Structure 1
Amino acid sequence: MRSHFTAPADTMGCEQSKHKENDPKNSRFTTLVYLMLSSQTKDEITDAAVTKLKAAVGGTLSIDAIVSAEESTVSAAINKVGFWRRKAGYIKQTAQRLLHDFDSDVPKTVKELCSLPGVGPKMAILALHVAWDINTGIGVDSHVHRITNLLGWHNKPTKSAEETRLSLQSWLPAEFHREINGLLVGFGQVICLPTKPHCDTCKLSARGLCPNARMAFKATDSEGTVHLSPESSPKLNIEIDEGALHSPV
């Protein structure tokens, strides 16, 4: 189903951010900055902010350029993203750390990435996927957390992104860990919206594969709504490896 439509994540997500710079180090840094800006912010706004920040620091988004720039310059360039003041400080501090502690490059482990200001497990994992082509774990954002719970992919509902990540990693084969984020993020941006999801055009709903599809149909028949039958949703049985829930990434 995802192959039949293009979502914002396909054209403006962190996978595309690395192409904004030709130098490998700058490309990796741009990916990390994109991820830091993307929290609580739509891809369209994040993409525009990265482009504006690049222009504001001289046309090249490098660690040296951010270190040399005033924090006010960074703030002004990214002021459309969520929590922009805090993120401007994080970006400045992160550039300093990368310059002094990591040979002016993005580190290659989750632990090192999470030691940077404002970087959590989701950002660290996605940075490794995109910047270094290292498949290590699943990047779980609000879309992945919400949709996997709607589809009943967990032994019991998960309460946080980190709990969702550990649950998914305990049973989803490793070869799918990298692609599941983009797959579900795009699905959540276009079809399975947080409010008023398009269940009438979703093949999972039509085939009875979404246990929560019926809950989304609030409109009347006069609006052309398709109503699913109560018995259309199958039960999914997923076995969780409890030991994996306590294993490091």
Structure 2
Amino acid sequence: MLLRLRMTSPYFSQNRTVVTRRCKQIDTSTAAVSLLSGLRKRRNVNAVKIEEEEARVCLSTPDGSQDLFQLATVLPKLETDVPPSSSHGRRRRQIKKQLGFIRDMRSNRDAPVDHMGAEKSYDAEAPANVRRFQVLVSLMLSSQTKDQVTAAAMQRLRAHGCTAEKLLSTDDDTLGKLIYPVGFWRNKVKFLKLTAAMLVKDFGGDIPDSVEGLVRLPGVGPKMAHLAMDIAWDQVSGIGVDTHVHRISNRLGWLRKATKNPEKTRKALEEWLPRELWSEINWLLVGFGQQVCLPTNPLCSVCLNQHSCPSAHQNSPAKRAKAQTSSSPALRTNKNTVVKDETRSGELGHVNSTTQRRTAR
């Protein structure tokens, strides 16, 4: 909706010329309308204040020679002084600021994901189809597993031969020893063998080039599919949401309603997050979650978003230390010790007073 500004000043009712500071003659009516044309398009401009300022300026200078210069300095201030027209705009600005802080905290690129993630796990000298297959294998192994463990398993697989044909010909026991101790390694042995068989049969040892094709592979979910599209095929199809992205998005209040699983978080983020940030958001939040916004005992005291995060200091180490109750075994032991000491002190006091009375007699 556009705001219509009614020009009440006689200054705007006729064409007049004014000599500017650079000694150039300009049409004051055209210049003033051009000055205000941008303001009309903004929803957060207070039309009443602008109209009052026009009248005040024009009344104070009957000849109209300084109207344009005064309006040029006053109207921008009025525009910035008006509060945002909706909470939606404030929310977007806050999220943009939080993202900027996270980028600052991730500027060193020294988190485990920066050196051991799926982007670093494949053999750069291998053929393109083999590189893509190794990216998918790394993503499958990374589920419920730390990057350090996944990277070590990928090194062993690459030394053994990490191609679809090679894994398909490897027996289950050998493959299990190669990937152990990744999380749920027994199930992943089965998934890797089944996936390798499907890829050799239907894709010539390469991986599908679509999310729909990737999620049909055993053990591959939406998160892995979107990350594989981004890393292996260089195509942004969606946001790869793992436990870090899911946890941090909820902690920072980026979602209209709290979500209970990563897939719902992905859909909620994709509703408002600009598409140009979809590829970056996983890398940013995963490293941030590994170093600062930890699953337990997050380091809120060193986080640049601690003053805008609704979850700040709720689970930080200092807060948890103060939250100990009498149900704690250690605390119960301390209390029992104090009670015993007090009882013993009372007993000793009673004995001493009895002895003193007997001595006096």
Query: TM-score normalized by structure 2?
Result: 0.58
Letter in 2 for 1:137: G
Matching of residues 17-96 of structure 1 within 5 Å:
17-19=121-123, 21-55=125-159, 57=160, 60-96=161-197
- Superposition CA RMSD, Å: 1.6
By relative contact order (CA 8 Å, sep 6+), the higher-ranking structure is: 1
Query: Could you say if the C-alpha distance between residues 70 and 190 of structure 1 is closer, same or farther in structure 2, counting changes exceeding 3 Å?
Result: same
Contact 1:18 1:131 in 2 (8 A): no
Instruction: Please tell me whether the aligned partners of residues 133 and 206 of structure 2 are also in contact (alpha carbons under 8 angstroms).
Output: yes
CA contact (8 A) 2:299 2:316 kept: no
| Stretches of structure 2 lacking an aligned partner (at least 5 in a row) | 1-104, 323-361
8 Å contact 2:106–2:288 — kept in the other structure?
A: yes
1:30-56: CA deviation from partner (whole Å, max 9, x where unpaired): 10000000000000000001111222x
Task: State the Cα distance separating 1:209 from its structure 2 match.
Answer: 1.8
Percent identity among equivalent residues?
A: 50
> Which protein shows a greater Rg?
2
Change (3 A) 1:70 1:20: farther
Determine the structure 2 residue equivalent to 1:99: 200
2:298–2:317 contact (8 Å) kept in structure 1: no
Partner of 1:231: none
Instruction: Give the count of matched residue pairs.
Output: 217
Structure 1 unpaired stretches of 5+: 224-249
Pairing 1:175–2:276 present: yes
1:15 to partner: Cα distance: 1.3
Deviation at 1:133, TM superposition (A): 0.4
CA distance in 2, matches of 1:108, 1:8: 27
- State the Cα deviation string for residues 49-91 of structure 1 (Å, max 9, x = none): 1111222x3xx31111111211221111111100001101100
Give the aligned residue type for 1:214: H
Candidates 115, 118, 122, aligned match of 1:14: 118
TM-score computed with the length of structure 1 as normaliser: 0.84
Does structure 2 retain, via aligned residues, the 8 Å contact 1:20–1:30? no
Query: Do the aligned residues in 1 keep the contact of 2:299 with 2:317 (CA within 8 Å)?
Result: no
Alpha-carbon distance between aligned partners in 2 of 1:108 and 1:85, rounded to the nearest angstrom: 27
What is the CA–CA distance in structure 1 between the aligned matches of 2:211 and 2:124, rounded to whole Å? 24
How far the C-alpha of 1:115 sits from its partner, in A, is 0.4
Q: What is the deviation of 1:103? A: 2.1
Given that 1:35 and 1:123 are in contact with CA atoms closer than 8 Å, whether structure 2 keeps it comes out as yes
| Aligned counterpart, 1:247 | none
**1:97: Cα distance to partner?**
0.3
* Partner of residue 308, structure 2: 209
- Cα distance in 1, alignment partners of residues 154 and 217 from structure 2: 19
CA distance in 2, matches of 1:116, 1:2: 33
